[in-house]
Chain A
Amino acid sequence: MNFKLEDRFSKIAIVFAFTVLAIGGMFGLLQLLTRTPYSPIQLSPDQYYLSLTAHGVLLAIVWTAFFIMGLAVFVISRELNINLNKYLLQGSLILSIVGVIMTTAAILSGTSNVLYTFYPPMNASALFYLGLTILILGTWIFAATIFLAFIRWKKATKSAIPIATFGVLTTLIIWLEATPGVAIEVIKDLIPMSLFNTPVDVLEARTYFWYFGHPLVYFWLLPAITLWYFFIPRLLNTKLYSERLPKVAFILFILFSTPVGIHHQFVDPGIANQYKFLQSVLTYLVTIPSFLTAFTLLATMEKSYRERGGKSLFGWIKELPWRDSVFAGIAFSMILFAFGGIGGIINASYTLNALVHNTTWIVGHFHLTVATAVTLTFMVSSYVLIPAIFNKAIIFKKLTVLQPYLWFIGMTIFSTAFHIAGLYGMPRRTADILYGGLAPSIWIELAQIAAIGGVILWVSGVIFIFNSGTSILKGAHVAMDAGSLFEKVNEKETILDRISVWVILAIIIIILAYVFPFLQIYSRGLSPAPPLPP
Chain B
Amino acid sequence: MPLIPKPVEEWYKEFSKQEKIWIAIALAVAIILAATTLSWPLIDPKHEVPSSAREFNPTAYKEIANNFSSIYNGKLVPPNTDIYIAAQQYFWSISTLVLKKGVDYRFHLGSLDVIHGFTIVGNGTVYSIMVMPGMEYVFTMNFKNAGTYYVICSEYCGYGHGSMRMVIEVVA
Binding site for B on A (CB under 8 A): 45-46, 49, 113, 115, 119, 121-122, 201-203, 206, 242, 244-245, 248, 266-273, 276-277, 280-281, 284-285, 287-288, 291-292, 295, 299, 345, 349-359, 423-425, 427-432, 435-436, 438, 492-496, 498, 500-501, 504, 524-529, 532-534
Contacts and interface: CB of A to CB of B under 8 A. Distances in A.
Given A358-B155, A427-B119, A352 B129 contact: no
Interface stretch (B48-56, B68-76, B92-100): B48-56
Given A495-B4, A495-B5, A527-B134, A354 B159 contact: no
A494 B11 contact: yes
- 4 A-B pairs closest in CB distance: A269-B53, A527-B134, A425-B121, A291-B26
Interface residues of B, number: 66
A525 B38 CA distance: 30
Given A270-B51, A359-B154, A202 B115 contact: yes
Residue in B12, B114, B135 with the greatest tally of chain A CB atoms within 10 Å: B114
Contacts of B60: none
A301 to B, nearest CB: 14
A265 to B, nearest CB: 8
16 contacts: A45-B162, A245-B23, A248-B23, A267-B128, A269-B137, A281-B34, A284-B30, A287-B29, A350-B49, A351-B41, A351-B49, A357-B128, A438-B150, A495-B4, A496-B11, A498-B3
B37 interface: yes
Nearest to A432: B162
Given A435-B162, A493-B5, A498-B5, A351 B34 contact: no
Contacts of B130: 267-269
A269 B19 CA distance: 42
Given A425-B119, A493-B11, 9 more contacts: A122-B158, A202-B133, A245-B22, A245-B23, A270-B53, A351-B37, A351-B40, A492-B11, A534-B158
B127 A431 contact: no
B128 A271 contact: no
A350 B158 contact: no
B152 interface: yes
Nearest to B126: A425
Contacts of B50: 267, 269
Contacts of A201: 134
Nearest to A353: B49
A353 to B, nearest CB: 8
Contacts of B62: none
Q: Is the interface of B mostly helix, strand, loop or mixed?
A: mixed
Interface of B: 3-5, 10-13, 15-16, 18-19, 22-23, 25-27, 29-31, 33-34, 37-38, 40-41, 47-53, 55-56, 89, 113-115, 117, 119, 121-122, 126-130, 132-137, 150, 152, 154-163, 165
A285 B152 CA distance: 34
Contacts of A354: 49, 127-129
A280 B134 contact: no
Given A203-B132, A527-B134, A527-B135, A430 B162 contact: yes
Contacts of B154: 357-359, 427-429
Given A119-B115, A351-B41, A359 B126 contact: yes
Contact of A46 (B16, B113, B159, B165): B159
B102 to A, nearest CB: 20
Contact of B52 (A206, A269, A427): A269
Contacts of A121: 113-114, 133
A532 B3 contact: no
Nearest to B36: A349
Given A423-B126, A438-B150, A273 B38 contact: no
Contacts of A119: 114-115, 155-156
B157 A122 contact: yes
B92 to A, nearest CB: 14
A244 B150 contact: no
A287 B33 contact: yes
A530 to B, nearest CB: 8
B171 to A, nearest CB: 19
Contact of A501 (B4, B30, B117): B4
B128 A270 contact: no
Contact of A285 (B23, B30, B47, B113): B30
A220 to B, nearest CB: 22
